[in-house]
Structure 1
Amino acid sequence: MKSALLCVALCVVGASCLSLNKVPADTKWVDLTSEPKDLGDIWTDCSSAGDLMKIDSVTITPDPPTKGAALTINATVDFEKQVTSGSIKVDLKWGFITVVNKELDLCSTAKDAGVSCPINAGSLTFHISEALPSAAPSGHYTGNIKATNQDSNELVCVDIDFHLT
């Protein structure tokens, strides 16, 4: 269940549902204007050209994540259309063992983060910080997060690949 907290933090990035807080001075910004869209050491944008949400920038601190430390994610995304409902499909594996395989309601996740649906078209900058459990097993984690809107159209796709120490 503790690894689900990490997944929820990562889901919120895919859902783009939090408000902006001050960005720490020691974070690094990733330029996403060239292909492939590498979002740092642990994220890759696997969205297709027709997806309805574009990731403009992502900052992850620390990168890579560390057990017992807060994982802070700052991102700016652009929604092409208003989102009134949707879902977030999360798959996360530790090695070959599936630790999370679930579908979350996008608006419930947004509400838990303090944002109400509908999410309007346009730019959205958000911040999330979640403590990673000290008891989380060290090792290689891989996964995928896909968010869809009310019409089942894909908003965004993010692949995750990191080593937790």
Structure 2
Amino acid sequence: MQLTLPLLSLYAAALALADPSIFGAQQQVHLSDDLKVPGDNPLYYCSDPRDDIIQIKSVDLDPNPPKPGAPLSITASGNITKEIEAGAKVHLQVKYGVITLINREADLCDQVGNVDLACPLKKDEMKLTKDVSLPNEIPPGRYTVLADVFTKDKEKITCLHATVDMHR
């Protein structure tokens, strides 16, 4: 089973909302409909994804938007165009309104271990469904998530941005 980085990003964001201790220069992202990630989701690319190592076909969230205390099902499909080796990193930033909850860089290979995968991630087509439990304690409000993923040589794997309004 393969994993798309959008799924990892959403999973990391969900984990971050559940437990900010998982992740230890701010980036500003401008949203454009041209940069919308296909599917039923709040995701946008940070920039033109044409040369990204991950080519996303679709990402669907159920429910969209996610709800505190409810399970979140994430279905993603895409293509890894080049093997992703150990040393890859994900820079994750999660904000609640204007308050930065998380602004941390983490080892991508350690994070994919949370979903029973290991590096290297092979060049391949993929489809994955993952269920995540969102805690009821997530405060209502607007959350913005930025996940910038890159190889050990600083080659862009993908960069995604989402804004999610959590309601009870």
TM-score normalised to structure 2 length: 0.74
Structure 1's unaligned 5+ residue stretches are 1-7, 14-33
Instruction: Note if contact 1:12-1:110 (Cα within 8 Å) is conserved in structure 2.
Output: no
Task: Determine if the alignment matches structure 1 residue 78 to structure 2 residue 83.
Answer: no
Match of 2:44 in 1: 44
SS at match of 1:133: coil
123 and 148 in structure 1: CA distance in 2 versus 1, 3 angstrom threshold? same
Task: Determine if the alignment matches structure 1 residue 127 to structure 2 residue 141.
Answer: no
Range with greater deviation from structure 2 (118-127 or 59-68) = 118-127
Instruction: Note if contact 1:93-1:143 (Cα within 8 Å) is conserved in structure 2.
Output: yes
149 and 9 in structure 1: CA distance in 2 versus 1, 3 angstrom threshold? closer
User: For 1:158 and 1:9, how far apart are their aligned partners in 2?
Assistant: 8
Question: For 1:74-94, what per-residue CA distance to the aligned partner results, in whole angstroms no more than 9, with x for missing partners?
Answer: 101211110112011100111
Shift of 1:9: 6.2
Shift of 1:123: 1.1
Q: Percent identity?
A: 26
Match of 1:90 in 2: 92
Structure 1 residue corresponding to 2:103, chosen from 101, 104, 113: 101
User: For 2:37 and 2:10, how far apart are their aligned partners in 1?
Assistant: 16
Equivalent pairs counted in the alignment come to 139
124 and 150 in structure 1: CA distance in 2 versus 1, 3 angstrom threshold? farther
**Deviation beyond 4 Å, 4+ runs, structure 1:** none
Question: For 1:78-137, what per-residue CA distance to the aligned partner results, in whole angstroms no more than 9, with x for missing partners?
Answer: 111101120111001110011111111111111221111111112121222111111111
9 and 135 in structure 1: CA distance in 2 versus 1, 3 angstrom threshold? farther
User: For 1:41 and 1:131, how far apart are their aligned partners in 2?
Assistant: 17
147 and 36 in structure 1: CA distance in 2 versus 1, 3 angstrom threshold? closer
Structure 2's unaligned 5+ residue stretches are 1-7, 14-32
Alignment RMSD: 2.2
69 and 11 in structure 1: CA distance in 2 versus 1, 3 angstrom threshold? closer
Shift of 1:11: 4.7
